[in-house]
Structure 1
Amino acid sequence: MTAPSHAGRYRIEQLIGVGGFATVHLAHDDELRSPVAVKILAENWARQTDVRERFLQEARLLRRADSHLLVQVFDLGELDDGRPYFVMTYADRGTLEERLAGRLFAIDETLGLVHDICQGVAVLHSIGVVHRDLKPSNVLFCSRPEGGERVMVADLGIARSTDHLSGLTLPAGSPGYQAPEQLYFDGAPDARADVHGLGALTYHMLTGQVPAKPEQRVPPSALRPEVPEAIDAVVMRALDPDREARWSDATAYAVALSSSTVTPPENPPGAVPPGAVPPENELPREGRRRGRRIAIAGGTAAAVVAAVAVTAVVVNSAQTPDSPGGTDATASPPPATTDTSTWLRDDSDIPRQYRGPIVQAGTYCELPGLSPALIAAMLKAESGYDPDLSDPENNEYGIARWTPEVLWHWQQGGLQSPKPTPPLSPEPSIVSMGRFMCTLGPRVQDLPGEPALKLAALYRSGVDPLKRAGGIPERWREYTEKVSRYMRDYQPA
């Protein structure tokens, strides 16, 4: 059916949005001389009593909330053909979805916008309403008369109100944003479902990507290294599959974000500035090194291997050469040496062609636990020194099992150098392990445990899991014991 020319006194000008149940039109209020948006229920649903009631309920809920932080409803009516419509604020500056398609948001800008979105959602929570469909297309922007713009939360088409809707809740939401409980009949989502949606919005704005499935999800810093660790923790808690572990509501989430460290460290030479897009406008698509199952004495460990990107500190937050126990991750590695017997046993199974890079990585900085023997032992455990290792399922390649995206950050020159592509060369793969250790190692130095084995666990899991466990996580004990055995074989007599 063609669009009507009028909806009551409102003159329809053009179609601006189409959904599964309704269309949205730009219209003009000739009496008040202002643009408005008119939402009209689709003809094929207009005679479905339950759908019609839900459409009208959206208007009533928005009117009840009556907040400039939400799309406001001004009028309600019915077309000549019986279709209901309601009149609401016109978002003249488009949607968050449109903006996400064009660029990557700066971190501070993201946090500011999320704060405003949280305020709108908090209004809904205060009147007992759960939005249930928070996503970029439902975040709108509207000009302010005094200049600038305001953020508005829109589309309560599937919102759930404890006051007005049935206790039986049907599956609803949008993939990537919906909380796990929204996938089930009578999942009874509460405010914590919206916290998941807010976390997904934050994640998308920080990384340019919708969060993956929970079992494949990585922290924002895995895809954008300058995201601070504190922000990682807040967002990942919001996205926890277990709603009991999430923030209680939009206000709690906003408070947690605002109390987190949001100022990224100053960039060292060669690092990509915060908010900038890496070479070729390409962000890392996979930020974790998800390991294969490793056969270990006493059983098999399912090794989900988190690389540098699981933490927020990467090349652009490395310690300087003068910092205790650290090094400048942008500096050149120590020169290669032909005589490696000082550091590695000559009669061991370490291939000759890799001994020089192993010594470079193991002497990259003065860090307790770091040594060529440790690097060699880890390479043995990771790949058995196989330079052609290829694990496409986990996106891991080469002698050190890097993902190309993570190695891109740790290779000499960082993101300013070309992105590596499989097969990954052994030498830069090995030397980059030293850069990794020297940058992140100092952050776990004060935790209990043997220094070398803490570094081995760090390469597997990242900083946060070690801190949460107060040392080497239980899941990596068998792995680190294996590394320890190899180290004994490789250390000179």
Structure 2
Amino acid sequence: MTETYAVPVPKGYRVGAWEVREPIATGAFGSVYAGRRTGGGGDGPRDVALKFLPTGTRTPRQLHHLRELAEREVDVLRRLKQPHLVRMFETLTVDDPGHPELDGATVLVLEKAEGSLAALLDASPRPGAGPGLLAQICEGLAQLHRAGWVHGDLKPANVLLMTDGSVRLADFNMAAELEGTHAYTSAFSTPDYTPPELLWSEIGERGRQIRGSADVWAFGVLAHLVLTGVFPLPGATPAARRTAAAAYASGTDELRLSPELPDAWREIVRACLSRTHAERIGVEELLRRVRDAAGAGRPFRLPRLLPARRRSRRAVAVSAALATAAVAVLGYGVDRWALSDGEPGASTDASATYGADVLRTGRGVPAAYRLLIVETARDCRSEDVSAPLIAAMLKVENDFDPDLSDPAKDEYGIARWTPKVLRWWMNEDGTPGETVPEPPFPPAESVPAMGRYLCWIAPRLDDALREDRRVLIATAYRTSWRRVNQARGVPAEYRPYADRVAHYLKEYTPPGRR
């Protein structure tokens, strides 16, 4: 290990069901390692990322601070499960007095990424996939803000690129839950991505006050860096750029964006980098503009760098980084079809095989929706609410059409939601929406809501019913669980629907799981 890790963990070390493999990254307070499940069986993935936070050692003051950071991150990851936020599978505490440097440490078991945006930018500044990546990052910010949280430390190192091509926001130990217009967080953040009003802000007993506009500023800096290769404020060092930020905030200097910044993004970045928090664009309007700007770009194609047998290590690293970015932009946002060579429905190998252990490949499930379907199923404790069931229902409902509009039946989107019904299932915390939502309903909203509804239906079906419970759950989605129980199975008028679901259930279930 050439880099000094905040929490050094030897390869082969075991914690819970996991064995530590190679190191991935480190920060000032925690370190991340690849992990692999030991032995057979177990739910969830075989390969994960293990984040070690040293909450069991150090001085009392450090202990208090580190425990607070760990608790923040665990709280966010337990409470928020969104397509563009990194997923946590479990938390563990190391019990190992023989290794005092690890004893008592908190370990977060997280989904493993292919890489980070920071690594991509190091390998290939100004990646062609930039607009698509930024669209996904902005969607993650919007998901976080809608849930009432501020990230507090958005930067390239905290943006993960997944194997299937999607993007995740990560590292939530600076995150804070809003209390009205403000939240409170620690004084630590990365200066280059910190808005001017927070660079020298006072720190009270509860920490530093922060608003959602701090994330908007950070997004503007990140967007400028991704699209131009340079920071928006001048200076060769973070200290020099911090001085430039102060001059800009005081009105003594103007914001001079790079001439390399595409026109479609210039006003977006400028709106993010307004001098005061009150002038900055809101995250929902920002997301709308970013989607428009990203949608205007052409699909990115991976360039051939060198013949395979003559590639240097760096060329291979660049190629891998670009490949990840290519998948990310081609499938950006789970509410869009994966694209290849400009044709809808085609996909990359990574996105087309996501969750292959639970959802069969090569059977027509659009690659753009595989991650959303698999993760939605995993959020339900009922084994009957599976990825093949959700995929089969989406196929039968409207052949995966995200733009379906059927005003005669008042049904819209990929899951054929009626607005008044969707209102009751749109929030992850189980509370109904404050108002009746208006179509169109993007898949990122519709599919998780479908999963929550199916998960609610499952335990309400009579245990004595003899038919396939998955098919009964699907039928209840079309009618009601009471109607299915009263009919002692699939009502006659819903038999064609149930038979089609059963057919695609068989199609989408991997061999050995039927």
Q: Tell me which interval the TM-score lies in, with the shorter structure as reference length.
A: 0.3 to 0.5
When normalised by structure 2's length, the TM-score is 0.46
Question: Max radius of gyration: which structure?
Answer: 1
Provide the TM-score with structure 1 as the length reference. 0.48
